[in-house]
Chains A and B, each alone.
Chain A
């Protein structure tokens, strides 16, 4: 398996622009997570999907952030409009939720820079 695939790997944009990050989870996994990682705050969970349904979006910073999972093999995280404080590495992770100890498999991340 190719693992979790994220695109783009790097994104540089200007403040106010729309940014869309993409994720393809591992085939057969039923849970998908979006995280944001910064030096100041570490790894923060933004949103969690189970069977394509958003279960917990309490970590989404504000209305500028939205996430969708139209099917089991694709998810997007959109920021509109983007701001410099959104600069971070965004990770997508997937897992097969069976019990409370299942493994999350992370993608390589998208490094976002908002100028």
Chain B
């Protein structure tokens, strides 16, 4: 596609439910990144994919968070048993080279009520 696309743009979910956030990277980009911004906080790194593998998942805050990437393209970030502290903007980026060449999606705003 022309840019990095994230869906949904907004998601409201009840505490305890599972949610899936989707990222469609720019076609041909091998690297994909997930970040999040909690309320009142700066953006923080979650996980990085190169192709379908994740060489760096050091930023995932707990085992309730997981991510996968299939076909070297679409990625899904899954949050199980959501908690109110998971409320944040989740941002995806993709790159054909290094992280310094990444293009960002517009983010998914997740609200856990």
Asked if A pairs with B, the answer is: no
Chain A residues within 8 Å of B, Cβ to Cβ: none
